[in-house]
Amino acid sequence: MKIAFYATKPYDRIWFEPLAREYGFSIHFIELPCNEDTVFLAKGYDAICIFVNDRVNAKMIDELYNMNVKAILLRSAGFNHVDIKAAEDKIAVLRVPSYSPEAVAEYAAGLLLSVNRCIHKAYYRTRDFNMSIHGFIGTDLSNKTAGVIGTGKIGQAMIRILEGFGMNVLAYDPYPVEGLGVEYVSLEELFKQSDAITLHCPLTKETKHIINKKSIKMMKDGVYLVNTSRGSLIDSEDLLDGLIEGKFGGVGLDVYEEEEGIFYEDRSTVIVEDEVLARLMTFPNVLITSHMGFFTKEAMEAIAIETLENAYALENGLPLLNKVV
């Protein structure tokens, strides 16, 4: 199988190159993202492999189909960046449903701890030998209430961590997990009762902007909000308004709804034109990182293995267990 591998970073090669040799696959690594301007590079390949900030729309699906591309291999669990309906009966879309739930959950917990205890700010202050702790006061998480939105594998891992902190956990998911041992409540109840809210749900029509002006108004003053899932779960402008009004104790974001072309890239020498993102960066109680919650050795290895296992199944006519339908 010949695979066109888009949006390649140096760390992708570390994991995919040796595994591709084991499977007997030929991978062409392309640094450019996959979009309407670069889809032609897939000509002559059996499959393309894309990441979360690549975009494959209906027009591109038709182009890929006409080029005899048989599969879109996702290096992610999420699939909102591909027009799944357009791909139906034309191209198989294969995802990585689980690589390391603990990696993302642990990172989300790290963001919560950092914005609560001002760890990111303390680091910069003490580097200048300013050892004053004034302004860094936090709050105990023990005996507080945490709201977890989405109780898939990552959400479940996060629940275990939060319970380890001694927090009372409330959960919301339209498809509750039986036997999980957590209290499921309505979204409204979760917003009203939680001292900290963490998002672990996929991006769908129902969840887009689940955090908005109305839901923010329901939340407690001083609430902590963490998002390591998808940026568009939060209406960024409404979040900005909430921060200006002093609603949040702290916000930790590993994702952003307009991150394409910014996250995973070095933009340190150019002016970022996204005014909302630039404004969010100015708040002392906001910590933004570049969609790296998944980024552990264990997760990267698992992503590479599962992605190429998907390709192997397709090539050998095996059941496509990870096909998105």
Q: Angle of helix 101-117 relative to helix 119-127, nearest 10 degrees?
A: 60
- The tokens for 24 are 């007997």
Q: Which residues are catalytic?
A: 230, 259, 291
- What is the Cα–Cα distance from 278 to 257, expressed in whole angstroms? 13
Longest C-alpha distance within the chain, in Å?
Answer: 64
- The tokens for 276 are 């909302």
- What is the Cα–Cα distance from 256 to 229, expressed in whole angstroms? 9
Task: Find, among 73, 97, 308, 109, the residue nearest to 228 by Cα.
Answer: 109
How many residues make up the chain in this entry? Answer: 325
Give yes or no for a contact between 237 and 191, defined as CB atoms under 8 angstroms apart.
Answer: no
